[in-house]
Amino acid sequence: MKHLYFLFFAFLATTAAFAQETDSLQLEMQQIESSMKYQHGEISLRDGIAKITVPEGFKYLDAEQAEYVLTDLWGNPKSGTSLGMLIPEQYGVLDSSSWVFNIEYDEIGYVKDDDAGEIDYADLLKTMQSETLEENPARQKEGYEPIYLIGWASKPYYDKERKILHWAKEIQFGETEGNNTLNYNVRLLGRKGVLVLNAIAGMSSLPDVKQNINLVTNSVAFEKGHSYFDFNPEVDDVAAWTIGGLVAGKILAKAGFFVVLLKFWKVIGLAIVAAGSTVVKWFKRRKANTIYEGPNHPETTA
């Protein structure tokens, strides 16, 4: 009987300790979210090359904060290429159901679209899948999980009138099936390069992402002198890329931006059920000194 009492009180103590850790974790997450400085309205991108009018139902994080989220919070390699991100108004950067449009600009030149109607996307997919498998040993050597390109989540489509290309890939990171990542790619063709809008989410968010594609693409535009129709063949460079080449571009490590977050929350749920504190300690270790404090926010060493 004493043994049973001991086990019972040990269980209560463990559960209470875990609950306290979980409360502390939730508080830290709230502090991180409260430190985000979201914007609305019209915002200039890349020194006036383009602008975004934040669409209704979304909020915007500037380039510095977006980079902070991608690297310090979500644990991805630093790239320094983000121009900011659009986030649905109802979500925060640490919400399990959240998804984002990350914005970049790639100055690759003027992309000719002559091949847009001639591409066999089924054949292209097979080639991309094969190349992705071939690159996995190098990824794993650098400490990253292998990538598996499952297929098109949304078949490539090119709007010739608006000069907008979009397609979506379903990607699996690691050997565990399920909770695959949605990598929805949008390219707005311009005079000297392309605006890149990548929607990064779990596959379950595909309907929401697709529903908002037109809303988001309508909110971003090149400024006068930088649009696709301002191309001057006498002074401007033509890109080596074609429409097919843009779609076939390599799956970068950043395609997995959201995988860390999604898998983390799956583990959190299991940890709460199991009353284990390992995940909480890991999170606290990782989030140490990561509250956003402006230009000189401290770097993490995790």
The reply to whether 105 falls in a domain is yes
The reply to whether 280 falls in a domain is no
The reply to whether 238 falls in a domain is yes
The reply to whether 224 falls in a domain is yes
The reply to whether 159 falls in a domain is yes
Report how far residue 166's alpha carbon sits from residue 198's, in angstroms, rounded to the nearest whole number. 9
Instruction: Give backbone dihedrals phi and psi of 112, rounded to 5 degrees, phi first.
Output: -70, 140
Report how far residue 286's alpha carbon sits from residue 181's, in angstroms, rounded to the nearest whole number. 22
Q: For residue 264, which of 93, 122, 113, 115 has the smallest C-alpha distance?
A: 93
**Enclosing domain of residue 146:** 42-258
The reply to whether 72 falls in a domain is yes
For residue 21, is pLDDT > 80?
A: no
Say which residue, 64 or 266, is predicted with more confidence: 64
For residue 275, is pLDDT > 50?
A: no
Angle, helix 2-34 to helix 278-287, in steps of 10 degrees? 30
DSSP code of residue 190: B
The reply to whether 155 falls in a domain is yes
The reply to whether 52 falls in a domain is yes
Q: What's the domain count of the chain? A: 1
Share of the chain above pLDDT 90, in %: 47
Report how far residue 69's alpha carbon sits from residue 270's, in angstroms, rounded to the nearest whole number. 24
Report how far residue 203's alpha carbon sits from residue 180's, in angstroms, rounded to the nearest whole number. 6
Instruction: Give backbone dihedrals phi and psi of 257, rounded to 5 degrees, phi first.
Output: -45, -45
Q: Would you put residue 141 in left (φ > 0), alpha (ψ -120 to 50) or beta?
A: alpha
At 202 the pLDDT is: 83
| Domain harbouring 155, CATH code | 3.40.1000.10
For residues 147 and 171, is the Cβ–Cβ distance under 8 A? yes
pLDDT digits (tens, 9 = 90+) for 41-93: 999 999 899 999 999 999 999 999 999 988 888 777 778 889 999 999 999 98
